[in-house]
């Protein structure tokens, strides 16, 4: 009996997030979703990750509508899956159980079948309540262990063997013996812990594509021996390991493999299903997918990718290929055979060379050496590129990427997966800006980075140095997050729209709780549309407004180094402020940043309001002279 391989298709969530900054619209999904019903995937990842935030933030669409509309078409033929961050869900702070319970209940009701749950710190305490609740409401809990690597050794001046935190804070060495944190046994113990909590699937989640084939050859068998539930493997191709490691996982008996369909595969995304299919045919492994239907989806996706050109990270298309009908040139076909032989012999160099030759022939992107060195996930990289481009700050991208390992070390060696990837990435950008301007390191720190260092996200894999914690937070003491301190957002009546509540039902209020700023803007747009639709149509009378000359700015001002969205404003004209008091909070690169008064004075004018998008170096507040 042939071995069978189940496929989780990532195209409509992780694929488009990694390659196109999560800009795929509902209308574009509608072009392919009918065919997906025929494809017979074990599972389709369609939600979670950046989707709920992005569809509201960039597309002005409802995440609930996206999930329920896909569910209605698929009719249960494939499990719909999503990704959540344990106690953080989709936000950047832990939530109380009441919100977690309400969210999972509604998500399953709207059609979700499998919820993949992970914690960015691999802190099992942060996933327990989610796993329990998903099972309770009828979903399938998929426990994801986040793969990461130990830091690279550093060479300094004195022949003293010390740990990296000692080096970070002053000791010099020539030879460094790094403690091995992320061993096979580390990941196996996390998997066993999740299974004990009730996880029905265990995923090795390699969000940065850093797991090399030789590591898979040892890790997958150990995971399969340690737990009694299916093992899923999730990786990315960014640093060049993805295809080879996926082949190694298949050879070593992985039960479920995450892939994307051709034009949404490779590069910073997961491997292309079509290449895995060719390997499996040669191995005698049955891929449980209707590849004819996949071909029809592939044709549609080529056009959709062209529509997403403005957000396309790679800008180069793989050549057209149908594994059911096209003949592979003999020299490339031989590379597939060579890769299989090398994988079985655990010859990693030959395996990687063969897989890279295959990808080069089909015009998939080459390994990204910058990403490989910085040890970051593809989605994090594509988001940094897209957001820095929108901020006009692309010139610091390489500097920021190079600083990511340094920031990660200081933050306790956290795996780089949402939200820690955004937190560390944004802080690396801030550090690059500090150095560009000649400021001391960590002059600019996001609120989320402060909370991570404080201890509010949970236990980091390696303890954070008390000296560094004091530098960032003002105290050397670790302070866990107090769930009891959570305050639900207000749900105000909108007088301008007839006094209706901003969130008109439980689903709306969940969006407001999970995404306070983005959700509020999205819901306000919906209430405005509803109010306009309810008004009787009258002939519009155009009244010319008198031109008012703006008063010139004469006093000291407050600007910001990076554009973003205003979340809250703490001052108004006439207020007296002291140095160190908060003036306003803005969001940039999905991180909150508090702007603090650098002087005593009286506020003359405030040029911003919550929800307003502000440009880099714009004047936001003026003081009296």
Q: Write down the mean pLDDT value for the chain.
A: 88
Whether residue 186 is predicted with pLDDT greater than 50 in this model: the reply is yes
Give the side-chain half-sphere CA count within 13 A for 427. 27
Whether residue 611 is predicted with pLDDT greater than 80 in this model: the reply is no
- Eight-class DSSP state of 64: H
When computed from its CA atoms, the radius of gyration of the chain, rounded to whole angstroms, is 25
DSSP per-residue string spanning 114-179? EEEE--TT--GGGTHHHHHHHHHTT-EEEEEEEP--PPPP---SS-----HHHHHTT---SS----
Q: What is the CATH number of domain 557-623?
A: 2.40.50.100
Whether residue 251 is predicted with pLDDT greater than 60 in this model: the reply is yes
- Residue 562: per-residue pLDDT: 62
Closest CA to 381 of 589, 588, 619, 117: 589
Whether residue 173 is predicted with pLDDT greater than 60 in this model: the reply is no
pTM for the predicted model, two decimal places: 0.84
> Tens digit of pLDDT for each residue in 207-231?
889 999 999 999 999 999 999 999 9
> Tens digit of pLDDT for each residue in 431-444?
988 898 899 999 98
Look up the CATH superfamily of 389-485: Conserved carboxylase domain (1.10.472.90)
Q: Average of pLDDT values for 149-170?
A: 49
Whether residue 383 is predicted with pLDDT greater than 80 in this model: the reply is no
- Maximum mean pLDDT: which of 211-215, 310-314, 392-396: 211-215
Strands 591-596 and 4-9, sheet pairing: unpaired
Q: Kindly state the tokens that stand for 442.
A: 């960590």
Rounded to 5 degrees, φ, ψ at 135 are: -60, -40
Report helix, strand or coil for 89. Answer: coil
Q: Kindly state the tokens that stand for 290.
A: 């209707």
Whether residue 165 is predicted with pLDDT greater than 60 in this model: the reply is no
- Residue 433: per-residue pLDDT: 83
Q: Kindly state the tokens that stand for 302.
A: 């080529």
Segment 546-555 long-range contacts (CB within 8 Å, at least 24 positions apart):
553/605, 553/619, 553/622, 554/622, 554/625, 555/604, 555/622, 555/623, 555/624, 555/625
- Residue 538: per-residue pLDDT: 66
**C-alpha span between 4 and 291 (Å, rounded):** 15
DSSP per-residue string spanning 33-44? HHHHHHH--SEE
- Residue 420: per-residue pLDDT: 87
- Residue 567: per-residue pLDDT: 77
Whether residue 160 is predicted with pLDDT greater than 60 in this model: the reply is no
Give the side-chain half-sphere CA count within 13 A for 411. 31
Which range is least confidently modeled, 119-133, 229-243, 505-519, 538-552?
A: 538-552
**C-alpha span between 521 and 573 (Å, rounded):** 25
Whether residue 255 is predicted with pLDDT greater than 60 in this model: the reply is yes
- Residue 548: per-residue pLDDT: 61
Domain residue spans of the chain: 13-371, 389-485, 493-534, 557-623
Q: Average of pLDDT values for 102-111?
A: 94
Rounded to 5 degrees, φ, ψ at 275 are: -70, -40
pLDDT interval class at 29 (50, 70, 90): very high
- Residue 178: per-residue pLDDT: 58
Q: What is the CATH number of domain 13-371?
A: 3.20.20.70
- Same-fold call for 13-371 versus 389-485: no
């Amino acid at each position: 009996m042939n071995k069978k391989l189940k496929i989780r298709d990532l195209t409509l969530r992780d694929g488009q997030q990694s390659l196109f900054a999560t800009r795929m619209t509902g209308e574009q999904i509608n072009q392919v979703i009918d065919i997906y019903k025929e494809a017979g995937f074990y599972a389709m990842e369609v939600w979670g990750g950046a989707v709920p935030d992005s569809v509201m933030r960039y597309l002005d669409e409802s995440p609930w509508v996206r999930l329920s509309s896909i569910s209605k078409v698929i009719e249960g033929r494939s499990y719909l899956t999503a990704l959540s961050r344990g106690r953080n869900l989709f936000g950047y702070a832990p939530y109380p159980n009441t919100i977690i319970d309400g969210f999972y209940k509604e998500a399953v009701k709207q059609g979700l079948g499998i919820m993949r749950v992970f914690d960015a710190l691999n802190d099992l305490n942060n996933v327990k309540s989610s796993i329990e609740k998903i099972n309770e409401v009828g979903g399938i809990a998929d426990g994801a262990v986040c793969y990461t690597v130990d830091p690279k050794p550093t060479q300094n001046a004195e022949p003293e063997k010390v740990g990296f935190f000692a080096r970070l804070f002053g000791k010099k060495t020539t030879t460094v013996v790094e403690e091995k944190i992320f061993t096979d046994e580390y990941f196996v113990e996390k998997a066993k812990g999740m299974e004990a909590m009730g996880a029905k699937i265990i995923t090795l989640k390699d969000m940065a594509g850093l797991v090399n084939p030789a590591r898979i050859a040892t890790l997958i068998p150990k995971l399969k021996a340690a737990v009694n539930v299916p093992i899923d493997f999730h990786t990315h191709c960014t640093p060049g390991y993805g295809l080879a490691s996926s082949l190694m996982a298949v050879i070593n008996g992985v039960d479920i493999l995450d892939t994307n369909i051709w034009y949404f595969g490779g590069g910073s995304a997961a491997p292309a299903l079509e290449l895995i299919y060719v390997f499996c045919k040669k191995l005698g492994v049955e891929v449980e997918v209707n590849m004819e239907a996949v071909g029809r989806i592939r044709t549609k996706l080529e056009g959709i990718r062209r529509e997403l050109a403005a957000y396309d990270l790679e800008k180069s298309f793989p050549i057209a290929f149908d594994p059911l009908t096209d003949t592979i040139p003999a020299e490339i076909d031989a590379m597939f055979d060579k890769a299989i032989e090398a994988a079985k012999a655990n010859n990693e160099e030959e395996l990687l060379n063969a897989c890279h030759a295959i990808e080069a022939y089909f015009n998939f992107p080459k390994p990204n050496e910058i990403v490989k060195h910085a040890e970051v996930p593809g989605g994090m990289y594509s988001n940094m590129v897209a957001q820095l481009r929108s901020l006009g700050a692309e010139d610091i991208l390489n500097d920021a990427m190079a600083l990511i390992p340094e920031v990660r070390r200081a933050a306790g060696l956290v795996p780089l997966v949402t939200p820690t990837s955004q937190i560390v990435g944004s802080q690396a950008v801030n550090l690059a800006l500090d150095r560009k301007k000649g400021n001391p390191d960590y002059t600019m720190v996001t609120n989320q980075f402060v909370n991570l260092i404080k201890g509010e996200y949970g236990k980091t894999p390696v303890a954070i140095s008390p000296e560094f914690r004091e530098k960032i937070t003002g105290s050397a003491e670790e302070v866990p997050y107090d769930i009891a301190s959570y305050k639900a957002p207000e749900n105000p009546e909108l007088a301008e729209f007839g006094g209706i509540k901003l969130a008109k039902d439980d689903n709306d209020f969940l969006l407001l709780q999970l995404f306070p700023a983005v959700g509020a803007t999205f819901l306000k747009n919906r209430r405005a549309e509803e109010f306009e639709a309810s008004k009787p149509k009258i002939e519009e009378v155009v009244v010319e407004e008198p031109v008012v000359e703006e008063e010139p700015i004469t006093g000291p001002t407050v600007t910001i180094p990076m554009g973003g969205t205003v979340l809250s404003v703490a001052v108004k004209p006439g207020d007296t402020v002291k140095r160190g008091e908060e003036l306003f909070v803005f969001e940039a690169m999905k991180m909150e940043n508090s702007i603090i008064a650098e002087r005593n004075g009286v506020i003359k004018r405030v040029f911003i309001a919550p929800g307003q998008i502000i440009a880099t170096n714009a004047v936001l507040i003026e003081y009296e002279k």
